[in-house]
Amino acid sequence: MIEMDTIVQVIAAIGAVFLAFFMGRGGCGKKKAKKPDAPPENLVADAARDNIQQTFEEEIARVDAALSGANTAAQLAALGNARKQSPKE
């Protein structure tokens, strides 16, 4: 008949094999992906930012021109009306 010590040794050996298999699989099989130092350039967002900045500067220039004119109230009203009537995107 099989002794109890033999059964314990067989179970311990099987456990050691499983442990070695799963530990080796996680450590050697997978390599960590290298993280990039900086995010990739987003050309669309850069173009949109430039367009927004240019539009902002143009609007500020129009307001400055209206403030420096002779009929300030009428020019500012005209700018407001033109902005109100422009289609919203």
In this prediction, residue 23 carries a pLDDT of 76
The model's confidence at residue 70, banded by pLDDT at 50, 70 and 90, is confident
Instruction: Give residue-wise pLDDT tens across range 11-58.
Output: 999 999 888 887 766 655 566 778 878 877 889 999 999 999 999 999
Contact criterion met (CB below 8 Å) for 65 and 78: no
Q: What number of H helices and E strands is found in the chain?
A: 3, 0
The model's confidence at residue 88, banded by pLDDT at 50, 70 and 90, is low
In this prediction, residue 55 carries a pLDDT of 93
**Which residue, chain included where needed, has tokens 């009428």?**
74
Q: What ranges do the domains of the chain cover? A: 4-29+42-85
**Does the pLDDT of residue 87 top 60, yes or no?**
yes
